[in-house]
Structure 1
Amino acid sequence: MRDPLSKKVQSIEPSGIRKFFDIVSEMKDAISLGVGEPDFDTPWHIREEGIYSLEQGRTFYTSNAGLKELKEEIANYLKRRFRLSYDPAGEIYLTVGGSEAIDGALRAMLDPGDEVLLPQPSYVSYEPCIVLADGVPKIIELKEEDEFKLRKQQLLDAITDKTKILIMPFPNNPTGAIMTREDLEDIAEVVREHDLYVISDEIYSELTYSGDHVSIASLPGMKERTIVINGFSKSYAMTGWRLGYACGPKPIIKQMLKIHQFAIMCAPTLSQYAAISAVRDGDDDVERMRIAYNQRRNFLMKSFRDMGLKCFEPFGAFYVFPSIKEFGMTSDEFATKLLEEEKVAVVPGTAFGRCGEGFLRISYAYSIDDLKVALERIERFIERHRK
């Protein structure tokens, strides 16, 4: 029989995160610090709006781009929070999570052979989505000594005559790294000089702990060459509602919406109505969760210092990225042994790119009580294996 499967799809490795989740789900008394998901419930006023919408029978399709009222509220929110100005009529549309927006942007903008600059370590979906869109990923390895920031010279060294898009994954999953305004100005200068486009994934924009988040699209000359991707999963603890959005120049959004129209139709109606309440009335909820995450972040960093585990201090998202190079094990070996011996699940750094070797991603989207127990187990483990 003829092989029914696409060679391109077969060439893509499954997510390196899932294997540990599958094991821990069947392991008694195990603690997982691997899930990138808030442990908070969706705030009640958001859930209440979703319930009310269901009771009112709002179970119909919306327009392909999403509810007009929600797009207007998003435009108001972006202007209020990040000094970004977008026309809700043609520069914003709603997606099924931020991941759909990443995929849609790449498919709308790439021709076969176009190169995409991808800083790593970074979110697991970027590289496969580039390949599926017939682009060529060009990896830029971020350095621990640079706090995992993208530096101007790294970008210049990676550009070729085939380069079209730069992905900006900040605040970063898995490292927690952020980019300051000064950092972004250096990058924006190169982007403008070399006529590149940017896909800026800002899903963790509300979760920063050292000053306010700055969007690269807010810098001079960058709005017209940037797609901003954001959503509701992280900031509002709405992962299961599956709702994100993309903002950008009308010609690009128009083509992204065409893909969305044929592949998706529209984002979930119930989620869209609930999200109106989130962006309109949810600032206090976001701040409450941000404060709690920062307390947990500080707790982890102090615990790592006390046990002598090297870890640069992250100021974004809800992850830490400690180095385990001193133990003479690969990231996968360390994570596997930690799970087997102490029943703590973390994610090997290599799940986020080869340059993640020697690191682990640990999420602090868990209660302090769970973190305390997990850290006691981790300390036992490293004392046993430290050379």
Structure 2
Amino acid sequence: MEMNLQTLFQDFNPSKFVVHSCLLIFTALLALKLDNSITWSYWAVFTPIWVWKFLVVLGATVGTYVWWQYPHFRLEGEAYIHYKAMLISLAIHLILLMFELLVCDQLTTGRHVWILVFIPLIFISIVSIAICIWSVKHDRSYELELFCAVNILQFIFLALKLDEFISWSWEVVFVPLWILMCLSLVGVLYSIIFAGILLRTPEVNVQQRRTSFNSALAYTFTVIPILVFQVLLTNRLDDGLPLSYTVVVSPLFVSYATLIIMSFSSKGGNKWWFGIRKDFCQFLLSVFPLLQEYANIAYNNNANRGANVVPSEPPEPYRDEETHKKVKESKKSQKNQKKNEFMKPVVPITSIDMPD
């Protein structure tokens, strides 16, 4: 089993890591607040959400400053598409922030109707349909937009139920979510069957088998806990099941943990957040040059080898010019040394004096 810092952060997606970490903390705080285990105000409970939105606004602001301050950066590859995607994401998050502010104020004061509170979220759901089409056309990620687009009916039902305009049970109110979870379960079942087929196919290489198995495992530990949470929440709201909200949301922690782990292999991400313009691993090594030394070390857990630390050469994108020059000269020197050793005679030559 071999691990190194470079491999760990090479496919790391910092955006997903921040979002899922903030949602995990927020879910835990909200459950504790509903159980009266903490006496914080809802404005304090929503702190992880405020941190998330602050990072989004700050990242877009810095990215916009770099965009206008350095015009030659706009010529780098698909810079216009990345920048436009960042602005679209910023607009979605600002509207989502408006919804979150209204929710927090409604929970604190109760001076609004829930239909008014949900208007920004419903608007996001409608706009997200067009954004998903644009994202597919330009090969961009659209997880948040897709989630909002497929749940527009669920948001309307929630608003009507909270305002008591409909007297349906929560089991009926969650019908759109039940349908979505059934489709997700079909996807999980398909991924498990596909992974099983690849494991029994000798023509498939080990890397493809490992990838399919990890994907099936990740989907399973993401979807199943959400389904368990939905069942517990429905029984808690309809039948008054004697469970605390902390117990009800506990399956979500498994899903959040899985999503956080998956963020280390998600790749992608917009390179214009905070004006980075490069992969996170390259940016991390350029900001902290000392990490290059640790990025070139692989830790091997093989007991048959004498050393636990095995140095390895980084690929070209992670090697600066000076390091590349030194490695090149070292290889040339080793090659010349081997050549000289090969040309040395094996049997020493001695002079033989012939008798007269």
Q: TM-score range by the shorter chain?
A: under 0.3
Larger-Rg structure: 2
Q: TM-score, normalised by structure 1?
A: 0.21
Q: TM-score, normalised by structure 2?
A: 0.22
* Higher share in strand: 1
* Higher share in helix: 2
